[in-house]
Amino acid sequence: MFGALATGRTRIKGLLEAEDVINTAKAVTALGAPASKSGDTWEVLGRGVGGLTQPVGPIDFGNSGTGARLMMGVIAGHPITVTLTGDASLTRRPMGRVLRPLRQMGLEVLEDKETLPLTIRGTSDLLPIEYELPVPSAQVKSAILIAGLAAAGETTVIEREPTRDHTERMLRYFGADVRSVQQDRLTRITVKGHAELEGREITVPGDPSSAAFIAAAALIVPGSEVTIEGVLVNPTRTGFYLTLQEMGGDVTFLNEREQGGEPVADIRVRASSLTGVRVPPERAPSMIDEYPILAVVAAFARGRTEMLGLSELKVKESDRLAATAAGLEANGIKPIVAGDSLIVDGNGAVSGGGTVTTHLDHRIAMAFLTMGLASRQPVSVDDGSMIATSFPEFRDVMASLGAHIG
């Protein structure tokens, strides 16, 4: 998306060619910024902020909530009318939290609803706003900041709790004027409008959320040791690994370095005896996608693991809180769901043998397939096809490490 909003060519190496990313490449191409692959490099021919054009038909984001929500911020600054749609899971997910601030800026929504499919109309006269996030959300923050690139003046997002800051880092890397200021326990992130971005060379670091499944497998399968190379270790994304360390996991960051404005490291994980811990609610934004696999790890730990502040899990690809609890129950674990908390009492072993309903959620599928690598009986999932949404190489990577996933 930033390549599409920049002038000139953006070349990207190390791109995860998952369905979410491919759908985004198709989307920017439909908007007049061709994205294509040559060898191991993707190239986007940018049109500049405000330079995208009317697509011929609807834009389908498949299962990608992030893609759809951020694209709303992109479209907001263009005088075009676009219909966004997605698969059965995405069309059930709420878009209101993104639409509310974008409407304040001038985006029009042509239907009286807040789920896809939606037809939206942007404008070349976008207004800057100052917006305090009602709940922590990097997607909402990012959509506003992206829209702010095209607004007249400065657009500010105020956070009470820190969220992933990849958007701010990458906007700076592309040449945008972005400031982050801490004041009275709040963070104010401001982007200057009428921005001029320039195409860049990008090497994408490894995704810590995808790496989490490999790390979890190495922890719970006796005798394992795995080093995952070149993983993003931005502090807004490492809550899962910090929690594993607190549980007694042998998890070490090696060869720490910076790459494209982001901190990167190799993560070495060795099988460990784990103990339950309390995971505080303020850690949730840094590991929101990792709670299903953390719950699996907790089932193999000894003692109680309390995961607090999980309201955001209820509005993911599925109600992940309910789906995770049901998956644990199907495999002999008796979790407790209390409001926005998930409590798992582990005894160091898992019976397994159950079939997990995934609700078309790729992270639920991968979490419980990982559970099956160390449980007494195999674990099945009702559908694994959607794993390609985020980690199409999951089975092959796990097989290369000795796993048997049918």
* Residues with active-site annotation: 289
Rounded distance between C-alpha atoms, residue 87 and residue 375, angstroms: 33
Here the tokens at position 93 are: 């997910």
In sequence order, which ranges of 184-343 are alpha helices (DSSP H)? 208-220, 239-246, 291-300, 320-330
**Residue 4 C-beta-side C-alpha neighbours within 13 Å:** 26
Give the C-alpha separation, 211 to 321, whole Å: 21
Positive or negative CA dihedral for 281, 286, 290, 295?
A: negative
Q: What is the DSSP letter of 88?
A: T
d(CA 388, CA 210): 11
Q: Is 305 left (phi over 0), alpha (psi -120 to 50) or beta?
A: beta
Q: Where are the alpha helices (DSSP H) in 149-257?
A: 166-174, 208-220, 239-246
